[in-house]
Amino acid sequence: MPSYLGAIGTANPVHRIAQPQIADFMAQALEFGENDTRKLRALYRVSGIAHRYSVLPDYGRANGDYTFFPNTPTLEPFPSVGQRMAVYRREALPLATEAVRECLRQVPDVAVDTITHLVTVSCTGMYAPGLDIELVQALGLRRDVRRTCVNFMGCYAAVNAVKLADAFCRADAQARVLIVSVELCTLHFQKSPEEDHLISNALFGDGAAACLVQASPLPNGVPSLALQAFHCGLEPDGHDDMAWHINDFGFEMTLSSYVPKLIQRGIRNLTDGLLASLPVELGDIRHFAIHPGGRKILETIETELGLTHDDNRHAYRVLRDYGNMSSATVLYVLRDVLAHATPADAGAPVLSFAFGPGLTMEAMLLEISFTNEHLTFNEQAQEETQQGALTATKPLPELLNVN
């Protein structure tokens, strides 16, 4: 039997900054001349991002009056790792707590003392005693809640958190897992004109997401996602094209323009590997939750898998309104899938991808569920086989009840 993911809550800092404002900040911080500034603004215009959120107001203040970066023409002395981690420690807990409360508001029958596991996810900050223990205290969770931290894995880390939650629930039908992802990517601005850093500075924003995973669907008609299958792919040739390192002045992201080509090379095999043992084919899937690592990545996947821009509409909307928030981002996309689901979508499969350092590519197949009104496609296939109703001539879309 599958486990179920649902009640996804999200939260963002108060500072919502338009992409052109951030471009102006970057041009000034990098001391760009007129020609380089024009090129930088063009990069920001084609990013597919309208706004991003940050715990720092500075990115909307191109003329100084900074609260975190020094008010000097060169931003020197540039903030150290210690200074950035101090902001992370101050800001991560309130943001994570807000996301959890938004999650739990959707399921008022779920009491916090029934949560058995807590999985925290982040790659943009860490300390100990950490966010997990602070969340136990802030939320009033049981002191014996089982805590697991998924740290420093990058944008695909939420998928590994979901895998963990699925394993917990399959092992214990009474398990109720709270996943909390919080990423403060904008703390790690790198003052460098290198292409990797220019791309990273143009994409990443701050946000948090929280969700519940349990062994049964959410009650009272609240939609959830049955976790059907996972598959991981690795493109070692991309080892140096997407990476995440700690240096003296923050965490340094390497994100080369070659990443979409690596994903192009591996995405079909990733999809085939995920679906190989399942009674569903790519052509039968109408719902997608793809991590918007960048506009070019989404377009590359569409070309390789024969998807339309509309198929990716949830990913494009999240990219436009938030940018790339590392591990939290795919949960935002899944939130939108659930927000637009209707009872007519019950039983429909959802294909989800996320990517990160390695180059790692993670895939999930989920299924939209409304309470117990619809069997999952695995359960339906098993039931029809037992009844002798499943034959080689029965059309697959009919089997899956996919419109």
Q: How many residues comprise the chain?
A: 403
Quote the DSSP letter at residue 204: B
Count other Cβ atoms within 10 Å, centred on residue 118.
23
Q: Using N-to-C axis directions, what is the helix angle for 195-203 and 19-29, rounded to 10°?
A: 150
What span, in angstroms and rounded, lies between the C-alpha atoms of 11 and 91?
Answer: 12
What amino acid positions are annotated as catalytic residues?
155
Quote the DSSP letter at residue 62: T
What span, in angstroms and rounded, lies between the C-alpha atoms of 56 and 67?
Answer: 8
Q: Using N-to-C axis directions, what is the helix angle for 295-305 and 259-275, rounded to 10°?
A: 50
Count other Cβ atoms within 10 Å, centred on residue 338.
24
Helices (H), 283-342: 295-305, 313-322, 329-339
- How far, CA to CA in Å, does 128 sit from each of 71, 133, 186, 321, 364? 31, 9, 21, 32, 31
Q: Residue 360: helix, strand or coil by DSSP?
A: strand
Q: Which has the closest alpha carbon to 176: 128, 221, 141?
A: 141
Q: Is the dihedral of CA 326, 202, 234, 353 positive or negative?
A: positive
Count other Cβ atoms within 10 Å, centred on residue 245.
11
